[in-house]
């Protein structure tokens, strides 16, 4: 039920209406009175008149009306930004809203600031839901010991050999081969969602039980729909839009993907001596030592992950919270990106990450809601425990992830900044530090490597079951 409150702020003189628009979402209706708008426009104009240097006039001597005529739209845009920003901040402060992320509004770009007219706008914000935090002290958790066995080292070398392997072009595909081509995803009414040249698809193996992925969407009967198309042939894949896709238009709709195969490739794993040479090592033993060291580091990460999962489970089980039935695009995107970076941090290879992310999109509502709930709880815990993130920590995490992905740290850093996802790393570190701070207060019991395996298996099964 919508709940409305109205209040006038004397100091900034704005009128704010707050309306519930679903669990953890609020709609703010803000009105800035005409006199405030006029005063801001006059202020902006006066500032500009004092600063501007027009041809034929000394600095600050140009007539106001001339400056207004020349820079009117810029002044109004600037005043609009300042008014909206100030009014929004004031509204948040006055209504004591704990806002998460950026506000969204469809109308802000369209509104115009005019002298003598009030400025009204609506924004929707995601807010921290109200809930009672469970106690963060003395949580019972198990810390598994780990050891790097020869079997794990050989398995890892096998993966490296595949990564370092060569592509062999084939005329006919077989299970496990990669098909490259043009993929066009359309909706039931013919709306084109994606048109990707260079779309890569893997022909499912027997152990995949026919499941496969195309353009980030998991298809259960992918194997039978895809068949074994040769270069030049086209196939049509029918799929259901994942319920938690970042693109809301895609959710739950019948999708058709037209895929035209241009080439078929098979990965021929590199020989171990070649891998040794490519890594600039002297012997296979040296490679094994390097892999062992990497696995040791990964083991520590896994150990932390297992403990973090136990903390997360405890927090989830002991917190009552009202959550939205359906995730918004922003929430879905955040949950997916959060999951993606967690997997990257854990050293999961790129292909596996994409597969798991695609599965995550098709996962049940429970899992998506649990992720959202955990995000809110940890956000609150981070505030309570005053957890901050330094730039060195961000750089360190990027370097670690780059090493796991076989990339250069600067390259990954640049990519994250350009794609606007550097914030995800900050969020991830904040989450890890918060949970680590809770672990520091927890009652930790060390368990054997076997127990570690058991816990990891349980965790994987739990993840699988929720997916």
Partner 1 sequence: MATNAIYIIKKPVLTEKSTDAMNEHGRYTFEVDRKATKTDIKNAIESLYGVQVERVQTRTQKGKLKRLRYGYVREKVKKSATVRLAEGQSIELF
Q: How far is CA 7 from CA 14, 31, 224, 394, in A?
A: 8, 11, 62, 41
For residue 66, the minimal CB distance to partner 1 (Å) is 5
Residue 58 or residue 464: which is nearer to partner 1 going by CB? 58
CB of 415 to partner 1, least distance (A): 47
Smallest distance, partner 1 to C-beta of residue 114, A: 19
Q: Which is nearer to partner 1, 42 or 357 (CB)?
A: 42
Closest among 151, 120, 162 to 292, alpha carbons compared: 151
Least distance in Å: CB of 34 to partner 1?
25
Handedness of CA 424, 426, 429, 432 (dihedral sign): negative
Q: How far is the CB of 40 from partner 1 (least distance, A)?
A: 22
What are the tokens at 2? 């919508």
267 bridge partner residues: 167
Question: Which residues have CB under 8 Å from 269's CB, separation 6+?
Answer: 158, 161, 162, 164, 165
The nearer residue to partner 1, 61 or 81, going by C-beta atoms, is 61
Q: Say which DSSP state 1 is in.
A: -
Please identify, using beta-carbon distances, which residue of 56 and 116 lies nearer to partner 1: 56
Half-sphere exposure of 290 (CA within 13 A, CB side): 15
Could you tell me if residue 22 is left (phi over 0), alpha (psi between -120 and 50 degrees) or otherwise beta? Answer: left
Applying CB under 8 A, the site for partner 1 has a residue count of 9
Q: Which is nearer to partner 1, 62 or 184 (CB)?
A: 62
Interacting residues with partner 1 between 56 and 75 (CB under 8 A): 56-58, 61, 63, 65-66, 69
Smallest gap from Cβ 69 to partner 1, in A, equals: 5
Q: Determine if 52 is a binding residue for partner 1 (CB under 8 A).
A: no
Q: Is the distance from CB of 263 to CB of 169 less than 8 angstroms?
A: yes
Stretch that binds partner 1, among 27-35, 49-57, 124-132, 265-273 (CB under 8 A): 49-57
Measured at the alpha carbon of residue 270, what is the angle toward residues 267 and 271, in degrees to the nearest 5? 145
Closest distance to partner 1 from the beta carbon of 60 (Å): 11
Cβ proximity to partner 1, 56 vs 190, nearer residue: 56
Contact present, 36 and 13 (Cβ < 8 Å): yes
Q: Which is nearer to partner 1, 3 or 58 (CB)?
A: 58
Nearer to partner 1, 75 or 139 (CB): 75
Neighbours of 99 (CB within 10 A): 16
**Phi/psi of residue 126, each to 5°?**
-95, 130
Smallest separation (angstroms) from partner 1 to the CB of 76: 17
Using the rule CB under 8 A, give the single segment among 15-23, 52-60, 211-219, 312-320 that binds partner 1. 52-60
- The site for partner 1 (CB under 8 A) is made up of 54, 56-58, 61, 63, 65-66, 69
């Amino acid at each position: 039920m919508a709940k409305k409150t109205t209040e006038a702020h004397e100091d900034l003189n704005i009128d704010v209406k707050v309306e519930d628009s679903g669990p953890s979402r609020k709609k703010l209706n803000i009105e800035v009175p005409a006199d405030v708008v006029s005063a801001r426009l006059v202020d902006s104009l006066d500032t500009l008149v004092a600063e501007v240097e027009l041809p034929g006039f000394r600095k600050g001597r140009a007539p106001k009306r001339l400056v207004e005529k020349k820079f009117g739209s810029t002044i109004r845009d600037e005043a609009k930004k300042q008014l909206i920003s100030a009014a929004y901040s004031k509204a948040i402060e006055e209504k004591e809203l704990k806002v998460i992320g950026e506000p969204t509004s469809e109308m802000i770009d369209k509104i115009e600031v005019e002298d003598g007219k009030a400025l009204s706008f609506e924004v929707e914000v995601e807010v921290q839901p109200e809930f009672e935090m469970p106690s963060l002290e003395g949580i019972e958790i198990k810390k598994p010991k780990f050891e790097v066995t020869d079997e794990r080292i050989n398995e890892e070398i096998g993966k490296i050999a595949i990564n370092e392997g060569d592509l062999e072009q084939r005329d006919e595909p077989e299970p496990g081969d990669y098909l490259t081509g043009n993929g066009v995803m359309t909706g039931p009414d013919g709306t084109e969602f994606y048109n990707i040249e260079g779309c890569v698809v893997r022909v499912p193996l027997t152990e995949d039980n026919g499941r496969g992925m195309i353009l980030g969407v998991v298809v259960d009967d992918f194997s039978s729909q895809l068949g074994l198309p040769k270069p030049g042939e086209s196939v049509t894949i029918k799929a259901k839009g994942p319920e938690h896709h970042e693109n809301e238009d895609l959710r739950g709709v019948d999708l058709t993907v037209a895929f035209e195969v241009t080439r078929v490739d098979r990965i021929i794993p590199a020989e171990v001596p070649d891998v040794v040479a490519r890594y600039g090592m002297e012997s296979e033993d040296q490679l094994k030592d390097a892999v062992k060291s990497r696995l040791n580091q990964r083991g520590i990460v896994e150990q932390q992950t297992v403990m973090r999962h136990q903390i997360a489970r405890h927090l989830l089980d002991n917190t009552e919270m009202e959550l939205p039935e359906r995730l918004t695009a922003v929430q879905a995107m955040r949950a997916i990106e959060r999951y993606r970076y967690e997997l990257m941090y854990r050293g999961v290879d790129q292909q596996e990450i994409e597969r798991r992310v695609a599965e995550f999109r098709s996962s049940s509502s429970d899992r998506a809601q649990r992720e959202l709930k955990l995000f809110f709880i940890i956000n609150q815990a981070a505030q309570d425990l005053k957890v901050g993130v330094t730039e060195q920590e961000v750089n360190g995490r990027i370097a670690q992830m780059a090493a796991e992905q076989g990339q250069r740290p600067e390259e990954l850093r640049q990519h994250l900044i350009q794609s606007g996802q550097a914030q995800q790393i900050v969020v991830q570190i904040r989450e890890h530090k918060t949970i680590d701070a809770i672990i520091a207060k927890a009652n930790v019991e060390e368990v054997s490597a076997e127990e570690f395996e058991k816990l990891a298996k349980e965790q994987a099964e739990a993840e699988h079951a929720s997916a």
